Amino acid sequence: MPGTSRKIIGCTVSAVLLTLTGCVGTTPTAADVDLGPGPARAGAVKKGALDGVTLTFASYGGIYQEGQETAAVKPFMAEAGAEVLSDGPTDYTKIKAQVDAKNVTWDVVDTDTLWAERQCGKLLMPLDTKIVDTSRLPEGMAGKCSVPAMSYGVVLMYDENKFGDNPPKGWADFLDTAKYPGKRAIPGIASDLSPGALEAALLADGVPPDQLFPLDVDRALKKLTSVRSSLVFWDTGARSQQLLESGEVSMAMVWSGRAYSAVKNGAHFAPQWNQFMPVSDSLTVPVGAKNPKASMALINYYLGAAQQTRLTELTSYSPVNSDAAPKLDELGSQYLTTTPERRAQALRIDNAWWAENQEQLIQKWSDWLAR
In this prediction the pTM is 0.89
Amino acid at 271: P
241 vs 237: CA distance, rounded Å: 6
Q: Where in the chain is the domain with CATH 3.40.190.10?
A: 13-151+280-341, 152-279+342-370
Give the E-state strand segments of 26-130 in sequence order: 54-58, 83-87, 108-112
- What does the pLDDT look like over 244-275, one tens digit per residue? 999 999 999 999 999 999 999 999 999 999 99
The pLDDT value recorded for residue 9 is 36
List, in sequence order, every beta strand (DSSP E) within the chain: 54-58, 83-87, 108-112, 147-159, 184-187, 231-234, 251-255, 269-284
Amino acid 7: pLDDT: 37
What local confidence, expressed as pLDDT, does residue 258 receive? 96
pLDDT higher than threshold 50 for residue 6: no
CATH number for the domain running over 152-279+342-370: 3.40.190.10
* Per-residue confidence (pLDDT) for residue 27, from 0 to 100: 57
Asked if the model's pLDDT at residue 155 lies above 70, the reply is yes
Percentage of the chain lying above the pLDDT 70 cut: 92
pLDDT tens digit sequence for 79-122: 999 999 999 999 999 999 999 999 999 999 999 999 999 999 99
The overall average pLDDT reported for the chain is: 92
pLDDT at 65: 97
> Which segment of 37-46, 173-182, 271-280 scores lowest on mean pLDDT?
37-46
78, pLDDT greater than 50:
yes
- Going by pLDDT thresholds of 50, 70 and 90, the confidence category of residue 28 is low
User: What's the mean pLDDT in 267-293?
Assistant: 97
CA angle 69, 74, 78 (to 5 degrees): 170
**Domain 13-151+280-341: which CATH number of 3.20.20.70, 3.40.47.10, 3.50.50.60, 3.40.190.10:** 3.40.190.10
Predicted confidence (pLDDT) at residue 16 exceeds the cutoff of 60: no
